[in-house]
């Protein structure tokens, strides 16, 4: 089997005495959807920040496309094809939706007109077609999440990291977004996502990693993880396992 | 290219002024306003589009002024060449200060502080160094020939400055419509998001600072030729740092015409002050300071923002105004 | 070879000067620590305080040390009002705006003083201005010794006030966690203004300590503020102890470099030190508020 597109090996990040990530390893297979779950404060966002170059790991290494990328700055990683969304959305508030996305498109298109055209196409693909001329600050929560996704897609990534893009959406908005994400994967983009919405995890994930207190405590297919009552009870809190199986049944 | 028509219109209208009036007072007024507009356009590239507020653009203005004057006086070089070297010198100073500041991760108040400190260091050095004429200043010899960048009358000076101003307007418009400009605005709005999209924010800021410094240095070089005298207080003094920032902020930060609008407004206010109160030192700056506070408080996007707001009220609500969010 | 006959007085004089710097820095760092803003009007406010102390003496014959007793509350009020009614509302919560508003205020105050009093440099004559005390075998000017004592007392007072008074506790709460403080019923706008007022009151006291031995003109405050910025960056933005120690350190450095380099180079030295400190402190310290 080919080497995974992304391989995180024994990575740690310490903030003073706090071990936010503590020797975590994971892999994202080419063209697959891999999901990281875990309670709040487990270190998921910190892990993503290291993969995308926003934080330098205290120790450990990160390989992407057979190259060691540990410690490379974010803009270089973006040029290598690694895109991310932010859990706390980070729009360019004064710009329109189209202009927001075009900042990403510019990575592949030097000309303004080309970048704007590409941005419109990307915007439409994630369902922002009707809002391209609105200022980003005028979007709803769901709209802002879509914008995060559109901007990341606009750089033409090979690896896409999504940090809770479904959080804060209502069930019908989640139902709208799930096929969008699946569609992206279907076009060959490798996806690594952090997600709490279990319904989506169950239906999208091919591999699930469970992060708790900075460590990977379990990994496997979603059904296996979901039925691993002990893991779920211990690390997602009491009642989570029941909820998960229930959602799996309804899905 | 779109958006050049307004610049062309403004350029033609302003170029006609010397044919309408030969009044030295009018031309003098417009020269000072354009000078501030040019210096302010420099500030606007970095501060308005890039969100990096410099409090020390005197560093670039002064370098343009001194390089232009000193090379002529000490080494007998051609004035136009000195002017060009002045612009290059300003750009170099901008690149050095920008390189040091941005690589150290300075932003916001700290960037403002460090630019201010650099300008002050240059002012003190210029006021003691022999090559600048130290405390006495440098006088450029009168030589009223176009080859020496000196003219018999005000009108040619006016046209040269107008040409420089128009170039700066076109350059700004080109930047607005380029990838570089998109990256610059993006990092102003959200630096982390820009990085995640592949923007080398340090490099883009550095580029903006270099262009910004070059434009402001051009204003400085022109100043030397127009007044034929430079000293440390004029070249590197805080007055120009303040006016270069005031013009775009009053006119509208991050807009092509903001600095020109703002410069006309502040220079008009300055003249009115003089008419009302005589040549009282400080009073014009008291008014500039109050206007700055008032604009930030009541019209954060300057005159351009006000115009847009009025226009927004006149057109149907379908077109949402681009009010910047304060979230 | 420079003997201890010169070095010891230079050290003591440096400490005296440093104490005054420390008080300016204290005001600045207090404001930064709580409001997270750099007050660009600090220098202009110090100049205004110098003029107030000057005219209190010239017109009303009040001794500067007595004047401090009412100028401190007066400037507290001025600072309070500026933050509460001008800076706070005008800034719309954006750091870039605060920068511009305090710059605008600085330009206004400084040039209003220039307009009113011209660029002339003034001094006052006090009977005790040239009195000296002998400590060890160093002779020290009495006003500087007084200044040193007053600054130490104020720093101690402030330290206790921060720990033992309700307002002090509220200030610390706001500095630490603004949102939390707001939720627990603290009036943040009021606390901000109180802090700004305290910082400004420090300037009034500084002015009264300086005026017996220092000259004034409409730009007099600026020199101190750049030094104060250096101290504050050196000592850590927002740290009161850092401001005190940094102030004394800079005072001593300046005293020694004046000894070896002379006056005008010494002036550049401060700026260069300032730039170096800004550029080469670990960048983590400079992360602005989002
Ligand atoms: N820059 C930082 N400095 C200090 N602690 C941090 C920083 N970023 C995150 N942390 C801490 O690291 C832990 C993990 O946070 P995070 O990665 O955001 O968790 P998750 O995304 O899984 O909810 C938390 O305890 C958080 O407070
Ligand atoms: Mg998170």
Residue range C86-136, pLDDT digits in tens: 999 998 888 888 889 999 999 999 999 999 988 888 888 877 777 888 877
* Residue that is written with structure tokens 């926003």 in the block: A54
- The span from the CA of C74 to the CA of C76, in Å, is 5
Task: Indicate the residue among A156, A175, A199 that finishes a domain.
Answer: A156
Specify the residue with its C-alpha closest to ligand 1, atom 5.
A15
C-chain residues within 8 Å CB-CB of B289?
104-109, 111
- The span from the CA of C261 to the CA of C265, in Å, is 6
Q: Where do the H-state alpha helices sit in B278-318? A: 283-298, 302-314
CATH number at residue A63: 3.40.50.300
Flag whether residue B141 sits within 8 Å of chain A, measured between CB atoms. Answer: no
Backbone angles phi, psi at B120, to 5 degrees: -65, -40
Across the interface, which of C113, C226, C286 has its CB nearest the CB of B105? C286
Flag whether residue C66 sits within 8 Å of chain B, measured between CB atoms. Answer: no
Tell me how crowded residue C223 is: count the other CB atoms within 10 A of its CB. 13
Over residues C176-183, mean pLDDT: 86
Tell whether A1 is covered by a domain: no
Tell whether C206 is covered by a domain: yes
- Residues A183-222: tens digit of each pLDDT: 999 999 999 999 988 888 888 999 999 998 899 988 988 8
- The span from the CA of B109 to the CA of C288, in Å, is 8
Residue of A15, A11, A115, A141 lying closest to A63 (CA atoms): A11
Q: Is A119 found in the same domain as A243?
A: no
Tell whether A10 is covered by a domain: yes
What pLDDT score does B323 carry?
41
Tell whether A221 is covered by a domain: yes
Structure tokens given for C255 = 């005293």
3-state secondary structure chain A: CCCCCEEEEEEEEEECCEEEEEEEEEEECCCCEEEEECCCCCCHHHHHHHHCCCCCCCEEEEEECCEECCCCCHHHHHHHCEEECCCCCCCCCCCEHHHHHHHHHCCCCCCHHHHHHHHHHHHHHCCCHHHCCCEHHHCCHHHHHHHHHHHHHHCCCCEEEEECCCCCCCHHHHHHHHHHHHHHHHCCCEEEEECCCHHHHHHHCCEEEEEECCEEEEEECHHHHHHCHHHHHHHHCCCHHHHHHHHHHHC
What pLDDT score does A233 carry?
65
Q: E strands, chain C, where?
A: 132-135, 138-141
Q: Is A197 found in the same domain as A135?
A: no
Contact between C87 and C73 (Cβ < 8 Å): no
Going from the Cα of A15 to the center of ligand 1, the distance in angstroms, rounded, reads: 8
- The span from the CA of A128 to the CA of A92, in Å, is 16
State whether the Cα torsion A177-A183-A185-A187 is positive or negative: negative
- Write down how long chain C is: 290
**Quick one: which H or E segment has residue B4?**
helix B4-15
Contact between C113 and C47 (Cβ < 8 Å): yes
- Measure CA B182 to chain center: 21
Q: Is A173 found in the same domain as A104?
A: no
Contact between C174 and C238 (Cβ < 8 Å): no
DSSP B24-73: HHHHHHHHHHHHHHHHHHHHIIIIIIT----S-THHHHHHHHHHHHHHHH
- The span from the CA of A249 to the CA of B194, in Å, is 41
Tell me how crowded residue B1 is: count the other CB atoms within 10 A of its CB. 8
What is the biggest distance separating any 2 CA atoms in chain A, rounded to whole angstroms?
Answer: 55
pLDDT of A246 strictly over 50: yes
- The span from the CA of C168 to the CA of C195, in Å, is 9
- Measure CA A41 to chain center: 16
B-chain residues within 8 Å CB-CB of C89?
297
Percentage of chain C with pLDDT > 90? 35
Flag whether residue B143 sits within 8 Å of chain A, measured between CB atoms. Answer: no
Q: Is A112 found in the same domain as A66?
A: no
B-chain residues within 8 Å CB-CB of C38?
109-110, 112-113
Hey, which residues does A24 pair with through a beta bridge? A11
pLDDT along chain B (327 residues), means of 10: 86 94 91 97 97 96 96 94 98 97 86 90 87 84 90 93 98 96 97 97 98 98 96 92 94 95 94 85 89 90 86 57 40
Q: Is A165 found in the same domain as A148?
A: no
Residues 6+ apart with CB under 8 A from C165: none
Flag whether residue C112 sits within 8 Å of chain B, measured between CB atoms. Answer: yes
Q: Is A227 found in the same domain as A103?
A: no
What pLDDT score does B320 carry?
41
Angle among Cα B265, B270, B274 to the nearest 5 degrees reads: 145
Contact between B104 and C279 (Cβ < 8 Å): yes
- The span from the CA of B21 to the CA of B25, in Å, is 10
Angle among Cα B146, B152, B154 to the nearest 5 degrees reads: 100
Tell whether A138 is covered by a domain: yes
Please report, for residues B268, B272, C230, the alpha-carbon distance to residue B275 in angstroms, rounded to integers and kept in the order given.
11, 5, 41
* Higher per-residue pLDDT: C259 or A126: A126
Give the single-character DSSP code of C216: B
Residues 6+ apart with CB under 8 A from A91: A100, A136, A137, A139, A144, A147, A148, B189, B190, B193
User: Domain residues for A121?
Assistant: 90-156
* Residue that is written with structure tokens 């895109």 in the block: A83
Q: Is A172 found in the same domain as A59?
A: yes
Contact between C159 and C243 (Cβ < 8 Å): no
- Nearest chain C CA: its distance from B135 CA (Å): 13
Q: Is A164 found in the same domain as A224?
A: yes
Percentage of chain A with pLDDT > 70? 90
Tell me how crowded residue B321 is: count the other CB atoms within 10 A of its CB. 16
Q: Which residues surround ligand 2, an ion (CB under 5 A)?
A: A 45, 87
Tell whether C146 is covered by a domain: yes
3-state secondary structure B215-247: HHHHHHHHHHHHHCEECHHHHCCHHHHHHHHHH
Q: Find the helix packing angle between B201-227 and B79-103, rounded to 10°.
A: 150
Specify the residue with its C-alpha closest to ligand 1, atom 26.
A41
Dihedral-angle region of residue C163 (phi above 0 means left; psi in -120 to 50 means alpha; beta otherwise)? alpha
- The span from the CA of B139 to the CA of B220, in Å, is 15
Backbone angles phi, psi at A109, to 5 degrees: -130, 115
Q: Is A37 found in the same domain as A13?
A: yes
Please report, for residues A7, A20, A27, A210, the alpha-carbon distance to residue A61 in angstroms, rounded to integers and kept in the order given.
8, 16, 12, 20
A44: Cβ below 6 Å to ligand 1?
Answer: yes
Q: Is A129 found in the same domain as A171?
A: no
What pLDDT score does B94 carry?
98
- Measure CA A40 to chain center: 16
Going from the Cα of B237 to the center of ligand 1, the distance in angstroms, rounded, reads: 46
Structure tokens given for B14 = 């302003």
Flag whether residue B4 sits within 8 Å of chain A, measured between CB atoms. Answer: no
Across the interface, which of B178, B201, B322 has its CB nearest the CB of A135? B322
Q: Is A140 found in the same domain as A170?
A: no
pLDDT of A39 strictly over 80: yes
Tell whether A227 is covered by a domain: yes
- Tell how strand B138-139 and strand B229-230 pair up: antiparallel
User: Domain residues for C125?
Assistant: 28-223
Over residues A50-56, mean pLDDT: 96
Contact between B18 and B155 (Cβ < 8 Å): yes
A40: Cβ below 6 Å to ligand 1?
Answer: yes
Specify the residue with its C-alpha closest to ligand 1, atom 25.
A41
- The span from the CA of B210 to the CA of B189, in Å, is 20
**Quick one: which H or E segment has residue B139?**
strand B138-139
Tally of structural domains, chain C: 1
- Nearest chain C CA: its distance from B289 CA (Å): 4
- Neighbors of chain B by Cβ distance (3+ pairs < 8 Å): A, C
Tell whether C108 is covered by a domain: yes
Tally of structural domains, chain A: 2
Tell whether A57 is covered by a domain: yes
Q: Is A163 found in the same domain as A77?
A: yes
Structure tokens given for C215 = 């000259």
- Residues A129-138: tens digit of each pLDDT: 999 999 999 9
Task: Indicate the residue among A156, A172, A193 that finishes a domain.
Answer: A156
pLDDT of A128 strictly over 60: yes
Q: Which of B100, B110, B202, B281 to mutate to test the interface with C (most CBs of C within 10 A)?
A: B110
Please report, for residues B102, B185, B195, C198, the alpha-carbon distance to residue C95 in angstroms, rounded to integers and kept in the order given.
18, 17, 21, 21
Contact between C256 and C10 (Cβ < 8 Å): yes
A172: Cβ below 6 Å to ligand 1?
Answer: no
- The span from the CA of B40 to the CA of B244, in Å, is 4
Task: Indicate the residue among A134, A156, A178 that finishes a domain.
Answer: A156
Question: For chain B, how many helices (H) and strands (E)?
Answer: 15, 2
Contact between C218 and C47 (Cβ < 8 Å): yes
Q: Find the helix packing angle between B24-43 and B154-176, rounded to 10°.
A: 30
């Amino acid at each position: 089997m080919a080497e995974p597109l992304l391989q995180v090996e024994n990575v740690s990040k310490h903030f003073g005495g706090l071990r936010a990530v503590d020797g975590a390893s994971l892999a994202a297979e080419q063209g697959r959807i891999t999901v990281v779950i875990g309670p709040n404060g487990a270190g998921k966002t910190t892990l993503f920040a290291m993969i995308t170059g926003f934080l330098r790991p205290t120790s450990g290494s990160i390989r992407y496309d057979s190259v060691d990328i540990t410690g490379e700055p974010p803009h270089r990683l973006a040029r290598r094809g690694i895109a991310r969304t932010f859990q706390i959305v980070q729009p360019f508030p004064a710009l329109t939706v189209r202009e927001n996305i075009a900042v990403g498109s510019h990575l592949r298109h030097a000309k303004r007109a080309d970048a704007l055209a590409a941005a419109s196409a990307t915007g439409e693909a994630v369902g922002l077609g009707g809002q391209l001329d609105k200022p980003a600050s005028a979007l709803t929560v769901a709209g802002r999440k879509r914008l995060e996704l559109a901007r990341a897609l606009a750089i033409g990534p090979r690896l896409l990291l999504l940090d809770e893009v479904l959080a804060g959406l209502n069930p019908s908005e989640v139902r709208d977004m799930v096929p969008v994400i699946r569609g992206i994967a279907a076009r060959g983009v490798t996806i690594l996502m952090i997600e709490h919405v279990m319904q989506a995890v169950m239906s999208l994930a091919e591999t699930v990693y469970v992060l708790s207190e900075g460590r990977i405590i379990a990994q496997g297919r979603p059904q296996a993880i979901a039925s691993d009552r002990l893991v779920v009870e211990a690390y997602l809190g009491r009642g989570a396992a029941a909820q998960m199986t229930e959602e799996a049944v309804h899905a | 290219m779109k958006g050049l028509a307004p610049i062309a219109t403004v350029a033609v209208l302003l170029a006609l002024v010397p044919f309408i009036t030969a009044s030295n007072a009018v031309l003098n007024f417009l020269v000072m306003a354009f000078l501030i507009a040019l210096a302010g356009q420099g500030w606007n590239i970095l501060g308005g589009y890039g969100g990096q507020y410099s409090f020390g653009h005197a560093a670039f203005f002064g370098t343009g002024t001194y390089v232009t004057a000193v090379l002529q006086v000490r080494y007998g070089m051609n004035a136009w060449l000195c002017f060009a070297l002045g612009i290059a010198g300003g750009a170099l100073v901008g690149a050095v200060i920008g390189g040091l500041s941005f690589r150290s991760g300075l932003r916001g108040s700290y960037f403002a502080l460090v630019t201010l400190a650099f300008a002050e260091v240059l002012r003190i050095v210029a006021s003691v160094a022999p090559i600048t004429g130290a405390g006495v200043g440098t006088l450029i010899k009168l030589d009223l020939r176009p080859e020496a960048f000196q003219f018999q009358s005000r009108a040619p000076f006016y046209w040269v400055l107008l040409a420089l101003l128009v170039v700066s307007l076109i350059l700004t418009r080109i930047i607005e419509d380029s990838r570089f400009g998109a990256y610059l605005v993006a990092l102003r709005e959200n630096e982390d998001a820009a990085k995640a999209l592949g923007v080398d924010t340090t490099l883009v800021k550095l580029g903006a600072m270099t262009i910004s410094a070059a434009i402001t240095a051009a204003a400085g070089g022109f100043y030397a030729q127009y007044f034929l005298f430079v000293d440390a207080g004029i070249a590197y003094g805080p007055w120009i740092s303040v006016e270069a920032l005031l013009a775009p902020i009053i006119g509208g930060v991050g807009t092509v015409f903001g600095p020109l609008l703002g410069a006309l407004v502040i220079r008009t206010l300055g003249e009115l002050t003089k008419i009302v109160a005589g040549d009282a030192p400080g009073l014009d700056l008291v008014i500039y300071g109050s206007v700055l506070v008032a604009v930030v408080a009541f019209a954060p996007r300057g005159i351009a923002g006000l115009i847009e707001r009025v226009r927004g009220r006149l057109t149907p609500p379908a077109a949402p105004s681009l009010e910047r969010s304060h979230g | 070879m420079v003997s201890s006959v010169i070095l010891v007085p230079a050290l003591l004089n440096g400490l005296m000067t440093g104490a005054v710097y420390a008080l300016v820095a204290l005001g600045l760092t207090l404001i930064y620590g709580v409001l997270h803003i750099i007050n660009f009007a600090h220098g202009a406010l110090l100049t205004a305080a110098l003029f107030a102390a000057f005219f209190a003496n010239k017109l009303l014959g009040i001794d500067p040390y007595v004047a401090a007793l009412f100028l401190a509350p007066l400037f507290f009020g001025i600072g309070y009002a500026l933050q509460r009614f001008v800076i706070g509302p005008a800034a719309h919560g954006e750091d870039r705006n605060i920068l511009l508003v305090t710059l605008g205020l600085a330009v206004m105050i400084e040039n209003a003083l220039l307009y009113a009093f011209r660029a002339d440099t003034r001094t006052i004559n006090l009977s005790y201005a040239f009195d000296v005390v002998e400590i060890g075998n160093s002779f020290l000017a009495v006003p500087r010794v007084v200044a040193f004592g007053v600054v130490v007392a104020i720093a101690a007072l402030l330290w206790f006030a921060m720990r033992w008074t309700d307002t002090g506790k509220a200030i610390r709460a706001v500095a630490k966690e603004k949102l939390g403080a707001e939720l627990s019923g603290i009036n943040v706008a009021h606390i901000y203004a109180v802090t700004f007022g305290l910082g400004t009151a420090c300037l009034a006291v500084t002015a009264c300590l300086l005026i017996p031995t220092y000259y004034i003109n409409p730009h007099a405050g600026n020199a101190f503020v750049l030094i104060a910025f250096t101290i504050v960056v050196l000592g850590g933005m927002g740290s009161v102890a850092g401001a005190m120690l940094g102030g004394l350190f800079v005072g001593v450095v300046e005293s020694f470099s004046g000894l070896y380099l002379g006056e005008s180079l010494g002036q550049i030295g401060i700026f260069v030190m300032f730039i170096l400190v800004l550029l080469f402190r670990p960048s983590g310290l400079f992360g602005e508020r989002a």
